[in-house]
């Protein structure tokens, strides 16, 4: 593969295309080429209409697949981190506020259930709200 020097004309940068690439893509004057930056690999140049005329060796395809897999795994890890951080923040901030507002008044709920069911005073049938701080008392 040849190396090409980048030239600047006014505010644009250009490279010339090697003859082998020109012939392989069957490029004619006025054709549009798509240039894609592949992270960590370089540039991919294809015809704007499709990639049907691009000849690619298996090593290049394998490198592209590994790069795509790596990018996908990084995105998946970041998404999982965002999800766990969101859930942790939700638990740490929202639930205490809701409990203070009285929405999660568990003691009142237990008392309401006791009166509704009409549980007798027998020890084994009584509903009790367990408090972690007073667990030794019960």
114 occurs within a structural domain: yes
The answer to the question of residue 131 being in a domain is no
Range of the domain at 99: 60-123
Q: Does residue 39 belong to any structural domain of this protein? A: yes
Does some domain include residue 135?
no
State the pTM of this model. 0.32
Question: What's the pLDDT band for 130 if we cut at 50, 70, 90?
Answer: low
Q: What is the pLDDT averaged over residues 115-136?
A: 59
Task: Clarify whether residues 40 and 76 are in a common domain.
Answer: no
Whether 130 is in a domain gets the answer no
How confident is residue 10, by pLDDT bands cut at 50, 70 and 90?
very high
Structurally, the chain folds into a number of domains equal to 2
As a whole number of angstroms, the distance between CA 133 and CA 108 comes to: 18
Mind listing the pLDDT tens digit for each residue in 66-125? 888 888 899 998 988 888 888 888 778 887 777 777 677 777 777 777 777 665 555 555
- Structure-token match 């080429």, residue found: 33
Say yes or no: 65 and 99 in one domain. yes
Reported as half-sphere exposure (CB side, CA atoms, 13 A), residue 59 has a value of: 1
């Amino acid at each position: 593969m040849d190396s090409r020097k980048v030239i600047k004309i006014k505010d644009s940068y250009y490279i010339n295309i090697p003859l082998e690439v020109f012939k392989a893509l069957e490029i004619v004057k006025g054709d549009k080429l798509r240039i894609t930056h592949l992270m960590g690999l370089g540039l991919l140049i294809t015809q704007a209409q499709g990639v049907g005329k691009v000849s690619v060796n298996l090593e290049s395809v394998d490198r592209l697949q590994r790069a795509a897999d790596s990018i996908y795994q990084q995105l998946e890890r970041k998404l999982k981190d965002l999800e766990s951080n969101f859930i942790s923040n939700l638990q740490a901030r929202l639930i205490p506020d809701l409990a203070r507002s009285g929405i999660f008044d568990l003691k009142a709920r237990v008392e309401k259930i006791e009166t509704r069911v009409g549980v007798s005073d027998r020890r084994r049938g009584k509903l009790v709200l367990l408090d972690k701080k007073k667990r030794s008392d019960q």
